[in-house]
Chains A and B, each alone.
Chain A
Amino acid sequence: MIRLTVNGQAHELDVPSYRTLLDCLRYDLGLTGSKEGCGVGVCGACTVLLDGKMISSCIALAVFADGREVTTVEGLAEDERLHPVQQAFMDAGGFQCGICTPGQVVAAKALLDAIPHPSEAEIKEWMLGNLCRCTGYYKIVESIQAAAGQARA
């Protein structure tokens, strides 16, 4: 039995010890925003925050999260109001097919939490573990820059 808080909501779950955090979120809690891309911690599509720090949930066990707080892409918007990062990805065209987007958005939020006004180099270094096969990354970098500007306003 594990107790974890996901997007502010407390859960008590009986999970097998080999269950990944990603599968727990998707199949036990129905939070299908986080995606499985590579399954080996390389592509970043499964990025979530564990106590505010970003991790690849496909190579984390659900039991790791016992007593801790998980934030997924579903937890970023406040009611109808999108998180500034989400809004910026829409405004600046930071996605095309969208499969990597939940991971990109969560990683970008973690970046701006850590470095509110990152340089382009800092954005690229932080985001290097979030692969995108559509955008060529330029629009993602622009989206994050736009979100940082929004936060500044």
Chain B
Amino acid sequence: MRYEAPESVQGAVALLAAANGDARVLAGGTDLLVQMRADVVEPELIVDIKRIRETRAVTQENGGWRIGAAVTGAELKEHAPLKQAWPGVVEAANLIGSTQVQGRATLGGNLCNGSPAADSVPALIAAGAVAKLAGPHGQRDLPVEDVMLGPRTLALRPGEFVVSFLLPPRPPRSADAYLRFIPRTEMDIAVVGAGVSIAVDGAGTITAARVSLGAVAPRVLLVAEAAQAIIGSRLDDAAQERLAAAARAACRPIDDKRGTTEFRVDVAGVLARRAALIAMDRARTR
């Protein structure tokens, strides 16, 4: 196995494009190393992207925030303006693993690990985040909901990797939230995750919303029907019930020891509703 740590996006792309055999991009390594140690993957080449400046920075861009793919959860937590603008995204990232893991785990890795239960992904999708990809044919932008196609399957082309994410500018009176259900109190994989981002007008009526669900389908879902169910409402009881029903209707979960199909579907409705209430509360008080 060859290990390379290029210092430029072009350098990483060149390595990945020239690789024959299994090449893996390494950010924090908190998933990749576990899979390597279990012989689930046996890469011939590892390209560590942590020395590339663009993957390690959090910067303002056109009123939004650009987050490098290799920025760690701990670094996001310490970034007060980002936390203020996108509390749901930062909370979701901080749910991943322990303090030790937080020091390594990244948004890019959480997405590209290709797990439908990845905590930060529903939050990124609800936020409307767009991934910047770099590859042999240049750079392109892809909405986060289009990056993952199924378990361990990504829309990335050969030689491509995720450099960063762009979170759009925040309109006034808008906020996001993420909730997950796990059987323990921490350090577990989501049985269901729900990310909601909401904007309200001066009267408290929802003008825009995005709802995303994790761990209830082969990929993390953007549920347009759930958003439509609450746009134009003040998130009254009837709107909450429409939201929950739309969330439940979108679910196509697996049935396993961590949660039955029926349970996951039910919890998806509950969490979508609760996350929306938190986002609503935050949006109103801005």
* Docked complex Cα distance between A129 and B73 (Å): 15
Asked if B34 is at the interface of the complex by the 8 Å CB criterion, the answer is yes
Q: How many residues of A contact B (CB 8 A)?
A: 29
Is A126 within 8 A of B30, CB to CB? no
Asked if B187 is at the interface of the complex by the 8 Å CB criterion, the answer is yes
Stretch at the interface among A56-64, A78-86, A90-98: A56-64
Is A129 within 8 A of B99, CB to CB? yes
* Docked complex Cα distance between A56 and B100 (Å): 6
Given known contacts A42-B98, A53-B74, A128-B99, is B104 in contact with A60 (CB within 8 Å)?
A: yes
* Docked complex Cα distance between A86 and B1 (Å): 39
* Docked complex Cα distance between A62 and B17 (Å): 25
* Docked complex Cα distance between A58 and B97 (Å): 14
Residue from B29, B38, B48, B98 within 8 A of A129 (CB atoms): B98
Is B100 within 8 A of A18, CB to CB? no
Residue from A18, A41, A56, A130 within 8 A of B36 (CB atoms): A18
Given known contacts A17-B46, A18-B1, A129-B187, is B33 in contact with A54 (CB within 8 Å)?
A: no
Residue from B2, B5, B46, B101 within 8 A of A56 (CB atoms): B101
Q: Closest CB-CB distance, A32 to chain B, in whole Å? A: 19
Asked if A40 is at the interface of the complex by the 8 Å CB criterion, the answer is yes
Chain B residues, CB < 8 A from A5: none
Q: Closest CB-CB distance, A65 to chain B, in whole Å? A: 12
Is A41 within 8 A of B187, CB to CB? no
Residue from B29, B46, B48, B74 within 8 A of A59 (CB atoms): B29
- Annotate A1-28 by CB proximity to B: 1 below 8 A, 0 otherwise: 0000000000000001110100000000
Q: Report the number of A-B residue pairs with Cβ-Cβ less than 8 Å.
A: 75
Given contacts A59-B30, A129-B187, 17 further A-B contacts (CB under 8 A): A20-B37, A41-B97, A42-B97, A44-B100, A50-B103, A55-B100, A55-B103, A55-B104, A56-B30, A58-B33, A60-B29, A60-B33, A60-B104, A61-B33, A107-B99, A125-B99, A129-B101
* Docked complex Cα distance between A52 and B111 (Å): 27
Is A41 within 8 A of B99, CB to CB? no
Name the prevailing secondary structure of the A interface residues.
mixed
- Which residues of A86-134 have CB atoms within 8 Å of chain B's CB atoms? 107, 110, 125-130
Asked if A34 is at the interface of the complex by the 8 Å CB criterion, the answer is no
Q: Closest CB-CB distance, B46 to chain A, in whole Å? A: 7
Is A54 within 8 A of B103, CB to CB? yes
* Docked complex Cα distance between A61 and B30 (Å): 11
Asked if A47 is at the interface of the complex by the 8 Å CB criterion, the answer is yes
* Docked complex Cα distance between A64 and B48 (Å): 9
* Docked complex Cα distance between A28 and B142 (Å): 44
Chain A residues, CB < 8 A from B263: none
Residue from A17, A41, A61 within 8 A of B100 (CB atoms): A41
Q: Closest CB-CB distance, A13 to chain B, in whole Å? A: 14
Is B30 within 8 A of A127, CB to CB? no
Asked if A33 is at the interface of the complex by the 8 Å CB criterion, the answer is no
Chain B residues, CB < 8 A from A18: 1, 36
Most chain A C-beta atoms within 10 Å of own C-beta, residue among B33, B48, B97, B103 = B33
Residue of B nearest to A56 (CB): B100
Q: Closest CB-CB distance, B1 to chain A, in whole Å? A: 5
Chain B residues, CB < 8 A from A54: 99-100, 103
Residue from A17, A44, A128 within 8 A of B3 (CB atoms): A17
Asked if A37 is at the interface of the complex by the 8 Å CB criterion, the answer is no
- Which residues of B74-94 have CB atoms within 8 Å of chain A's CB atoms? 74
Asked if B186 is at the interface of the complex by the 8 Å CB criterion, the answer is yes
Is A128 within 8 A of B98, CB to CB? yes
Chain B residues, CB < 8 A from A64: 29, 48
